[in-house]
Amino acid sequence: MKKKVPIYFLIIFFFFIQTDKIFSQTNNSIIISVGNHPITRLDLLKEIKLIAILSNTEITDSNQEQIKTLAVKSLIKRNIKKNEIKKRNIDRYNKNQLEALINNTCKKLGVDRNGLKNILDRYNLSYENLVKKFQVDLKWNYMIFEMYKNKISLNTSEIESKINLYLKNSKDIKKEKDIKLIKEKIVNEEKEKKLKMFSNLHYSNLERSTQIKFL
């Protein structure tokens, strides 16, 4: 039986043996500009490592280009979001959601917070930068909510149908308190869908208006 190689060994093996296939040089030269924000080879290398670690992905010859593409898109998206957040002076975010993101990351990797810091440090990645990455997304979410909260319109009949269907398939639910919580859950899910739609639309408009150069 073939012994499974630990994921972190595979990651480090890839970056010592395969990195030259992805980068002809690992200097800090600029490879992409997003508006006035430069993205360097080192930024891209770190993003690839972060994606591999957080997704618990074994990097192979068959998926390395796909992961590189994901890393490029991620860096571009983060820079566009950061620019918009800065322009609108957004500094607020949900701190409970930040804690949840960190805890979920630890749970996914099977470590506590110190363990997460050690893993990142082992691959020359920063825990503080990971937190900043999460903060960008949370600030963006806050901004989208503030911009579009008054434009959210829900189809009440459609929501009622979903609630009735849920209750029909969950015959054990009889308490009024439980029914109320279910209704709130479904309404919140529908609001989240609308906000996600506005978020995608807002980002797409920004991306089209941002000058992105591959150098």
Q: Is residue 2 part of a domain?
A: no
Question: What are the tens digits of pLDDT across the range 1-58?
Answer: 433 434 444 444 455 445 544 444 556 899 999 999 999 999 999 999 999 999 988 8
pLDDT higher than threshold 70 for residue 141: yes
CB 25 within 8 Å of CB 41? yes
Counting Cβ atoms within 10 Å, is residue 133 exposed (0-12), middle (13-18) or buried (19+)? middle
CB 74 within 8 Å of CB 93? no
Count of residues making up the chain: 215
CATH of the domain at 26: 1.10.4030.10
Domain range for 193: 7-214
Q: Is residue 200 part of a domain?
A: yes
Cα 144 → chain centroid? 16
Paired tokens of 210: 């941002």
Paired tokens of 144: 């989208």
- Whole-model pTM above 0.85? no
Overall number of domains in the chain: 1
Question: What are the tens digits of pLDDT across the range 46-95?
Answer: 999 999 999 988 888 888 899 999 999 999 999 999 999 999 999 999 99
Paired tokens of 204: 């797409």
